[in-house]
Amino acid sequence: MSYDFRLPDLGEGIAEGEIIKWLVREGDKVEEHQPIVELETDKAVVQVPSPKSGTILKIYGSPGEKIRVGDVLCTIGEAGEKVSKAAAPKAAAPAKKVSTTVIGQLEEAPEEGEKKVTPITPKKTAEPAVAVLPAIRKLAQEMGVDISKIQASGGRITEDDVRRASGQAVKEAPRAPTVTFEKFGRVLRIPLKGIRRTIAENMRESLSKAAHVTHMDYADVTKLADFREKEKEGAEKKGVHLTFMPFIVKACVLALKEFPYVNSSLDEEKQEIVIKQYYNIGIAVDTQAGLMVPVIHNANEKTILEIARDIWRTAELARTREIQLKDLQGGTFTITNIGSLGGEFATPVINYPECAILALGRISEKPVVIDGKIVVRKMLPLSLSFDHRIIDGAMAAKFVNEIKRHLEDPDALLMGY
Amino acid sequence: MAKLTIVEAVRDALDTEMGNDEKVIVLGEDVGVDGGVFRATDGLQKKYGNRRVIDTPLAESGIVGTSIGMAIQGLKPVCEIQFDGFTYPAFDQLFSHAARIRNRTRGKLTCPLVLRFPYGGGIRALEHHNESPESYFVHTSGLKVVIPSNPYDTKGLLIAAIRDPDPVIFMEPKRIYRAIRDEVPEGTYTVEIGKANVLREGTDLTLISWGAMVREAMKAADAAAAQGTRAEVIDVRTLSPCDWDTILASVQKTGRAIVVHEAPHTLGFGAEIAARIQEKLLLYLKAPVIRVTGYDTPFPYFKLEDAYLPNPERIGRAIEQVMKF
Amino acid sequence: MQKIVGKFSVKYVQIVDEKGNVDKKLEPKLSSQQLRDLYKWMVLERTFDNTALSLQREGRIGTYAQSLGEEAVHVGATFAARDSDWIFTDYREHASYLMRGVPVKNLLMHWGGSEDGMALPEKSNIMPVCIPVGTQTLHGVGAALAMKIKNQKTATLTFVGDASTSTGDFNEGLNFAGTFVTPSVIVIRNNHWAISVPRTCHDATWGGCQTRAETLAQKAIGYGFEGIQVDGNDVLAVYAVVKQAMDRARDGKGPTLIECITYRLGPHTTADDPTRYQDPKTLKAWLEKEPLKRFQLYLKKKKLWDEKYEAAVQAECKRIVDQGVVEAEKHKPRPTDMFDYVYKSLTPNLKEQRDEWQS
C-alpha cells in the first residue's frame, strides 16, 4: 500500500518552506525517521524525516519550489509498486492549516481574511414577549391556545384564562352531557329561582362538602309524654302551646354540652375544627315558600317555656315570611321534625356548615320488651345525620344516647344532669 | 487597514499603548528577547528597551506580586503568565491583594494592572496548558475579567484594559490565536469593557458564549439556520462586570437560552448566567437554560480533548432540545 | 563590635573531563558492567529522544521536550538511587523512567496525549511527569518526611531545572528539607536556559536573567544544608556525588542540593527556536563537551568501548525504542476514563455527565 507523505507542521507559525535539496531519490529505500528532504523556512533549514520505512516511489517538488504544510512531499511504498499520481499533490484544502508552538498546535487563518465581525445593534422587536408562568405556557401549548392572543383577566394570564380561551369550562367539573327530556313526552319547565334555588344550592353544597352518615335510634318518650300532658294546661295559661319540641331542644343542648364536637364546624380554609361555645338551635320549618330554619339563640340559657315561646314565635314569623335575617343566622345545630306528616327515620341533609342535624319521626305507640315483658310504649324515632369528617360514629351514637337519656327521664332533663 | 490575527492584535495593542503612555510596562517569562512563546510581544523589547519589556525569573507569584508593587507606585504593568495552568501560584497575590487594595484603602491606593494569559484547550497541548479558570476570577470581587473572541475586539479591549483603573484579567483564547484574520484599525481605539456584543440577530433562541467557543456557537447557529431555526448569538466579552442588559433583553425576546463554555460545568460562568436568567425572566422562558460545557473533570490529555470540548454537534443537540421543549 | 558570622564555600566536582581523562582520586568503584550500563542508559535516552523528536515532526506525537545533552544528569543520578528510593521529576528526565522499568510505550503514550502513559508500573517508585516546574520539590521533601516518620531506610531524589529555583515552591521545599533534616536529595539540571531566559546575568544593574546568585548550589546554604556543584556532563561525577548524598540522606544526615552544570542542546520544546536568543558559538562549544562523547572516550581508554560495541548498543536501543513506538501507536484511550478517575467513586455530577456522554 503506497502512502502519501504530506508535509507536517514545521513549527513557529511557519506554514511553508522552500525545497533546498532532496536527500533521497525515487527508488531509494528509506528507514523510518531517516531525513529525506531539506527545506528552508524564514527561520532555519529543516530536515524532514520519513515517517515510514519503505521505498520512495515518487517525489513531488523540485529544489527551489515552495511547498506548503499539507502538500504531498513524496509517496512511499513497496519497491516496484505502481503509484497513481497522488490524488491532490497540492493540498486542495488541508484539513486545517496548523502551526506548532512551544506547546501545542495552533490553527492558522486562511490567506483570505474571514468576514469582519461587525457589532450589531439589535432592532427593537415588533411584538413584546408574553409574560406567563412556565406551567401555564405549557398548558396553552398543549391546548393549542395562542397565549399572545389571550386577554388576561387579572394582571398575568392564568390557567382559567387559557381554559376559557380554549372554550373549556373553568376548573374541575367537566360538563356533564345534557339529557333532552322533551324527547320522551311533554314537560313543564319552571325556572329555578328564589328560595328553591337557594335550597338547591345549599343541598348540593352540604352533600358535596360534609361526609354524611346517619345514626338512627328510638327514644322512649312515654314518661315525657305524661309530663307534657301534665304541664300542657299550665303552659297554655302562659300563652304557650307546649309541644315535644322544647323538651327535645333542651335535651339536645345538654347533649351538645357533653359532646362539644357536635356543636362545631370544619373551617376548610384554615383547616380547623371550630367548636362553638354558644348553643343556637335551628328548628326547620316548612313554609309555603319552602324550608326555613329559624334559630333559637342561646337555648342553653332559656327555660323550656322560653324555648317553647321562641319556637312558636319564630315559626309564625317564618310562615308569614316576616322573619328577620338574624333569626335565621348563627345556628350551631338543627332539628327537623319530619314526623308531623308521618314516617319514622330519614337521612336528613346537614344544615351546612353545622356538624349534625337531628330528624324527629312520628311518635307512635309500639310494642317494646321491658324486663322480658311486652309493653306498649310511646317511641320517638331519631335520625342524626353527622359530618364524619368532624366526628366518628361512636361519638354520634353516644351523643344520641345522651339525648335519649334526657328524653326518657324528664327528671334528668329538669336537673340538667 | 491591516488584517491581523488575535495574537498580532495583542502585540499591536501593547505596542500602541506603550507608545501612548510611558508608564506601561510589559513583564513576564520570555516576553523580551524571545518576544513571547506565541510572539505576542514580538519586537517590543527592541523598540522600548529592556526596562519596559522585562524578562522575569520563573515565578508566577513573583510576576504578579511585583506588578502589584509597580502599580501602586504609578506604573501600568501588563504582566503575562505564559499559560492558563500556571496562574494558580499567582492566585494569592491576585485575590489577597490586587483585588482588594482599592477597597482596603478606600481608594487611596489602587492597582491598575493587567494580567494577560493564553487560555483554553483545543491545541493538542500538554497538561496545565488547556485550562479555563475564568470562574475563579469572576468570583473574586475587585477583579475585572475580559475575554475577546476576535482580533478587532482584542486590540480595543486590551487597550481599554490597560487604561482601566482596576485590575483586569485579560484571557486570550489561544486556540484561535492565529485562526482568524480580521481588519484591525491602526492607531488607538478602545472597545468598552462591560459591554457584550450581539454578533447575529435571531428570534428563536439566544446562544451565549465567549472566547474560542464563540466560533463554535456561530457554526452551530449556521447549522440551525439551515434547518430554519434562527439563533441570536451573543459574545459576552466582559464576564465581570457582565452586560446583563444585553443578555437579558435577548433572552426575553427569544425565550430560550444556551450558554457555551469550555470551563467545567459546575460553577462555570454559565451557572451564573442561568441563575440570573431564571431570576429575571422566568415568565418569558419557553425552555430551561441549557449549558453546553466541559465536564467536571480535569482537562484531559489531548487524545481525549475532542471528547471533552463543546463542539457544534453538542450545541446543535442543545438547540434541538430547547426548540422542542 | 562587628564580626563575620557566616562564610560559605561551594565545592565543584568533575571526575571525567571533556577529553575522557579521569581523576583517579575521585573515580568511583564501579564494575565494567556497571560502567557499560551507564553508557547504555545514556544511549537509550538519546535514541528515545531522537525518535520522539522525529515522531513529533511527523505529527505522530504532540509537543515534546528533548533531553538532548542532559543524559549524564538523568542517568548518573538515577543510577545512584536504589530501587526503593523514590524519584520526583519534571519533564525532561526520560532516562529516569526507562531506568525504573517504565516501558518506552508509556512515555510515548504520555507525549502522545494519553493519561494511560502515566499509569506507571507498580514499584517503579517514580512520580508522573510534573509540568508546573518547582512544585515537585515539595513532593520530594514531603515523601522524604514520610519515610523519616516511618523509619524507612530510603530517600528521595528530586530533579528540578535551573529556572525552577526561582519558584516559591522550590524555596519552600528546601526550607522544609533543611528544617526537618529530611532524607532528600535535590538535583538541579542547570541547563542554562528557561526557554529563552538565561541562567546568568550579564547586565550589572538589570535583570532579564534567572537569578544573580553565583551558583545555584549555594541556595542550600540559605536553608541550612550543603550545596555541591558538579560537571553535569560527566556521568561519573553526577553518579558519585549523588550516591554520596543519597547514602548520607538514608543515614539520617539530611538533605543535599546538587547543581549539575550542563547545557540544553536542543530547543525548549519541539517548536521553540533557540536561534532567536542563543549564541550559536555557545551551542557549538557545548556540543564539544556533550556527555556521551566524553564517556565514550573514557570507556575507550578503559577498553570497554569500540565501534563494534557501539553498533551493538545502538542497535539494541533502536530495537527497544522502535518496539515501544509500535506498541504506543496501537493504544487508544477510553473516553469514559475521563470520568472514572476523578474520584474514587463517581459523584452524581460525573455519573450524569458520563451517561450523557455515552448516549
pLDDT in tens, C187-213: 999 999 999 999 999 999 999 999 999
Which of C57, C268, C271 lies closest to A49 in CB terms?
A: C57
B227 shares a domain with B179: no
Which of C12, C57, C212, C277 does the annotation list as catalytic?
A: C277
SS3 annotation, chain C: CCCCCCCCCCEEECCECCCCCECCCCCCCCCHHHHHHHHHHHHHHHHHHHHHHHHHHCCCCCCCCCCCCCHHHHHHHHHHCCCCCEEECCCCCHHHHHHCCCCHHHHHHHHCCCHHHHCCCCCCCECCCCCCCCHHHHHHHHHHHHHHHCCCCCCEEEEEECHHHHCHHHHHHHHHHHHHCCCEEEEEEECCEECCEECCCCCCCCCCCCCCCCCCCCHHHHCCCEEEEEECCCHHHHHHHHHHHHHHHHCCCCCEEEEEECCCCCCCCCCCCHHHCCCHHHHHHHHHCCHHHHHHHHHHHCCCCCHHHHHHHHHHHHHHHHHHHHHHHHCCCCCCHHHHCCCCCCCHHHHHHHHHHHC
Would the CB atoms of B178 and A99 count as touching at under 8 Å?
yes
Q: Is A285 helix (H, G, I), strand (E, B) or coil?
A: strand
Spatial separation of the C-alpha atoms in residues A400 and A393, rounded to whole Å:
11
Would the CB atoms of C338 and B308 count as touching at under 8 Å?
yes
Q: What is the rounded average pLDDT of the residues C130-136? A: 96
Which of B34, B126, B303 lies closest to C195 in CB terms?
A: B34
pLDDT at C12 over 90: yes
B29 shares a domain with B155: yes
Q: What is the rounded average pLDDT of the residues C273-277? A: 88
B158 shares a domain with B231: no
CB of C350 less than 8 A from some CB of B = yes
- Identify the pLDDT of residue A124: 56
Which of C51, C60, C271 lies closest to A101 in CB terms?
A: C271
Residue B132 lies in a domain: yes
Q: What is the largest CA-CA distance in chain C?
A: 80
Which residue is closest to B149 within chain A, CA to CA? A117
How many of the other CB atoms lie within 10 Å of CB of B273? 24
Would the CB atoms of B58 and C164 count as touching at under 8 Å?
yes
Question: Crossing angle, helix B213-226 and helix B312-324, to 10 degrees?
Answer: 50
* A321 compared with A37, residue with greater pLDDT: A37
Residue B190 lies in a domain: no
**DSSP character for A74?**
E
As given in the structure block, the three cell numbers for residue B146 are: 475580559
B177 shares a domain with B201: no
Spatial separation of the C-alpha atoms in residues B14 and A237, rounded to whole Å:
119
- Chain B residues with beta carbon closer than 8 angstroms to that of C332: 303
- List Cβ neighbours of C182 (8 Å cut-off, separation of 6 or more): C141, C144, C145, C148, C156, C176, C249, C254, C255
Given a contact as 3+ CB pairs under 8 Å, which chains touch C? A, B
What number of CA atoms fall less than 13 Å from residue C84's CA on the CB side? 8
Which of B128, B129, B261, B265 does the annotation list as catalytic?
A: B129
Would the CB atoms of A48 and C275 count as touching at under 8 Å?
no
CB < 8 Å from B in window 2-61 of C = none
Instruction: Name the band, by pLDDT with cuts 50, 70 and 90, for residue A125.
Output: low
- Chain B residues with beta carbon closer than 8 angstroms to that of A105: 123-124
pTM equals 0.73
Distance from CA of C312 to the nearest CA of A (A): 18
CATH at residue B286:
3.40.50.920
- Lowest-pLDDT choice from A170-174, B74-78, B150-154, B213-217: A170-174
Among C84, C13, C29, C9, which Cα is nearest to C238's?
Answer: C13
Its ipTM equals 0.91
Q: Is B306 helix (H, G, I), strand (E, B) or coil?
A: helix
As given in the structure block, the three cell numbers for residue B275 are: 441563575
**CATH number of the structural domain C11-358:** 3.40.50.970
Residue B9 lies in a domain: yes
Which of A107, A114, A131 lies closest to B178 in CB terms?
A: A107
Residue B265 lies in a domain: yes
CB of B58 less than 8 A from some CB of C = yes
B127 shares a domain with B74: yes
Which residue is closest to B38 within chain C, CA to CA? C272
- Chain B residues with beta carbon closer than 8 angstroms to that of A119: 197-199
Q: Is B262 helix (H, G, I), strand (E, B) or coil?
A: strand
**Catalytic residue status for C309:** no
Spatial separation of the C-alpha atoms in residues B13 and B158, rounded to whole Å:
6
**DSSP character for B94?**
I
DSSP result, A142-206? HHT--GGGPPPSSSS--HHHHHHHTTPPSSS-PPPPPP-GGGGS--------HHHHHHHHHHHHH
Would the CB atoms of C271 and A11 count as touching at under 8 Å?
yes
- Identify the pLDDT of residue B15: 98
* B43 compared with A173, residue with greater pLDDT: B43
- Chain A residues with beta carbon closer than 8 angstroms to that of C63: 100, 102-104
Would the CB atoms of A117 and B153 count as touching at under 8 Å?
yes
- Alpha carbon separation from C139 to A153, B169, C147, C157 (Å, rounded): 70, 30, 12, 10
- Identify the pLDDT of residue A93: 47
- Interface contacts (A, C; CB < 8 Å): 42
Spatial separation of the C-alpha atoms in residues B234 and B269, rounded to whole Å:
14
Q: Give residue-wise pLDDT tens across range A208-222.
A: 999 999 999 999 999
B165 shares a domain with B102: yes
Task: Report how many domains make up chain B.
Answer: 2
Which of C268, C309, C331, C354 does the annotation list as catalytic?
A: C268
CB of C342 less than 8 A from some CB of B = yes
Would the CB atoms of C271 and A102 count as touching at under 8 Å?
yes
Q: What is the rounded average pLDDT of the residues B232-248? A: 98
Which of B179, B198, B282 lies closest to A109 in CB terms?
A: B179
Distance from CA of C357 to the nearest CA of A (A): 26
- What are the backbone dihedrals phi and psi of residue A263, each rounded to the nearest 5 degrees, phi first? -95, 40
Q: What percent of chain A shows pLDDT beyond 70? A: 86
CB < 8 Å from A in window 35-74 of C = 50-51, 54, 57-60, 62-63
Contact B177, B7 (CB under 8 A): yes
CATH at residue B103:
3.40.50.970
Among C87, C16, C40, C77, which Cα is nearest to C241's?
Answer: C77
Distance from CA of B202 to the nearest CA of C (A): 28
B108 shares a domain with B140: yes
Would the CB atoms of A131 and B39 count as touching at under 8 Å?
no
Which of B38, B283, B302 lies closest to A101 in CB terms?
A: B38
Which of A12, A51, A105 lies closest to C273 in CB terms?
A: A12
B246 shares a domain with B169: no
Q: B295 is in which domain, residue-wise?
A: 197-324
Contact C208, B51 (CB under 8 A): no
Q: Give residue-wise pLDDT tens across range B119-134.
A: 999 999 999 999 999 9
User: Where do the domains of chain C lie?
Assistant: 11-358
Contact A11, C270 (CB under 8 A): yes
How many of the other CB atoms lie within 10 Å of CB of B320? 13
Q: Is B147 helix (H, G, I), strand (E, B) or coil?
A: coil
- What is chain A's length? 417
pLDDT at A101 over 80: no
Contact A296, A307 (CB under 8 A): yes
Q: Give residue-wise pLDDT tens across range A357-395.
A: 999 999 999 999 999 999 999 999 999 999 999 999 999
Q: What is the mean pLDDT of chain C?
A: 96
**DSSP character for B96?**
I
Which residue is closest to B83 within chain C, CA to CA? C132
Which of C199, C264, C294, C298 does the annotation list as catalytic?
A: C264
- What is chain C's length? 359
- Chain C residues with beta carbon closer than 8 angstroms to that of B317: none
Spatial separation of the C-alpha atoms in residues B160 and B150, rounded to whole Å:
15
Q: What percent of chain C shows pLDDT beyond 70? A: 100
Q: Give residue-wise pLDDT tens across range A322-352.
A: 888 888 889 999 999 988 888 999 999 999 9
CB of B181 less than 8 A from some CB of A = yes
Contact A212, A385 (CB under 8 A): yes
